[in-house]
């Protein structure tokens, strides 16, 4: 339950942030897009500078892959930042540098693993709204210039999109900040994010994109235990509160004041708890399915990966070359269902 201390054992070796692989995978969104730089010498000089920057300056929680056969293509994996509803999630993006790069920003495609938007700036069709890409209005340093680079775009996705209250990223919604209505809307949006994130991660672990496969499995070995424990704890607190206060809803701030406990799991700093009844019902079910899927690919949700655990310790499940899906055991696990009905009922 909630009383157990969380070991803070992180692996001694986080997988390499930036690597150049031989060939771009067929699954890359822009693989079939013809590419001819308008000024090749300048383009290749810029790319070499970019690669140097990616080698030395990638922050933790970001992985980038470049390709020898296609200098214009990149694949990116970003881990959801701590203390946000995206914590311990993985997000995937395909980039193509423009023909007149760096004068024009790169193209970016978000690879989605769930129905519905997990964030106002990330669309189901792959569109990413961020001012550096020219897909969102911005000013000053937020706008692309020939001095901008790919690293800045990636960091702005991590820092400006995957935030603790994504509800307010929607155009015009920041006016609700600080209001009771705004707080409740933000809390309900975070409920949706947490649910969709778990459903998306279940799909990722069942069919990890090949180029990041070992990093993804490493991620779940190290993070899944803590993620599941944290959510189960928040669930328990919310359920207990809802049973004992059936008629008096609370705000996250007042809840923090009345909730005195010895839990070792930190309460979320963003609006979420106490969560609605509908959310609790759906999350409990979703977590059971998620745990079953993790177990089926050899990831334990009962204990943390040991200290010093590294990528070399992982036995990667065999995959079928044609589909990239984890076969054999994983196929027998029920897919994670969405039950939006429950959530809606719970909030009405």
Instruction: Point out the residues that are catalytic.
Output: 129
For the four alpha carbons of 137, 138, 142 and 147, in that order, the dihedral sign comes to: positive
CA distance 104 to 210: 30
Sheet strand arrangement including 18-21: 18-21, 62-67, 73-79, 90-96, 107-111
Backbone angles phi, psi at 79, to 5 degrees: -85, 135
Which residues have C-beta within 8 Å of that of residue 272, sequence separation ≥ 6? 85, 187, 190, 191, 194, 234, 252
For the four alpha carbons of 147, 108, 164 and 14, in that order, the dihedral sign comes to: negative
CA distances from 180 to 105, 238, 251, 255, 277 (A): 39, 20, 8, 14, 20
- Biggest CA pair distance of the chain: 69
Helix, strand or coil for residue 161? Answer: helix
Listing DSSP states for 24-45 in one string gives --TTSTTTTS----SSHHHHHH
* Residue 62, beta-bridge partner list: 78
The number of beta carbons lying within 10 Å of the beta carbon of residue 117 is 17
Pairing of strands 73-79, 62-67: antiparallel
CA distance 244 to 120: 34
Burial of 256 (0-12, 13-18, 19+ CB in 10 A): middle
Nearest partner of 320 among 220, 227, 228, 207, judged by Cα: 207
């Amino acid at each position: 339950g909630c009383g157990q201390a969380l070991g803070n054992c992180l692996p001694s070796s986080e997988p390499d942030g930036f690597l150049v692989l031989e060939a771009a995978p067929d699954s890359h969104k822009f693989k079939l897009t013809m590419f001819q730089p308008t000024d090749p010498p300048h383009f290749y000089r810029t790319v070499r500078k970019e690669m140097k920057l990616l080698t030395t300056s990638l922050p933790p929680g970001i992985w980038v892959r470049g390709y020898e056969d296609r200098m214009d293509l990149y694949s990116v994996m970003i881990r959801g930042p701590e203390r946000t509803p995206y914590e311990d999630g993985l997000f995937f993006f395909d980039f193509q540098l423009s023909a007149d790069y760096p004068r024009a920003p790169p193209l970016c495609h978000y690879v989605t693993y769930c129905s519905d938007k997990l964030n106002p700036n990330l669309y189901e069709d792959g569109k990413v709204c961020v001012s550096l890409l020219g897909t969102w209005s911005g000013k000053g340093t937020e706008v692309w210039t020939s001095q901008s680079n790919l690293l800045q775009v990636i960091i702005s996705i991590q820092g400006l999109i995957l935030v603790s209250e994504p509800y307010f990223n929607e155009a015009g919604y920041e006016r609700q900040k600080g209001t009771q209505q705004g707080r409740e809307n933000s809390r309900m949006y975070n409920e949706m994010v947490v649910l969709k994130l778990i459903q998306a991660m279940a799909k990722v672990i069942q069919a990890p994109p090949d180029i990041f496969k070992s990093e993804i499995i490493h991620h779940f070995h190290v993070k899944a235990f803590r993620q599941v424990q944290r959510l189960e704890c928040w669930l328990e607190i919310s359920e207990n509160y809802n049973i004992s206060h059936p008629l008096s809803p609370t705000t996250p701030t007042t809840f923090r004041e009345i909730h005195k406990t010895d839990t070792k799991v930190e309460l979320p700093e963003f609006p979420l708890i106490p969560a609605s009844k509908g959310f609790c019902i759906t999350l409990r079910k979703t977590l059971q399915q998620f745990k079953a899927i993790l177990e089926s690919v050899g990831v334990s949700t009962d204990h943390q990966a040991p200290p010093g655990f590294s990528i070399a310790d992982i036995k990667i499940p065999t995959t079928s070359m044609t589909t990239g899906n984890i076969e054999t055991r994983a196929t027998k696990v029920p897919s994670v269902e969405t039950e939006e009905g429950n959530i809606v009922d719970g909030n009405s």
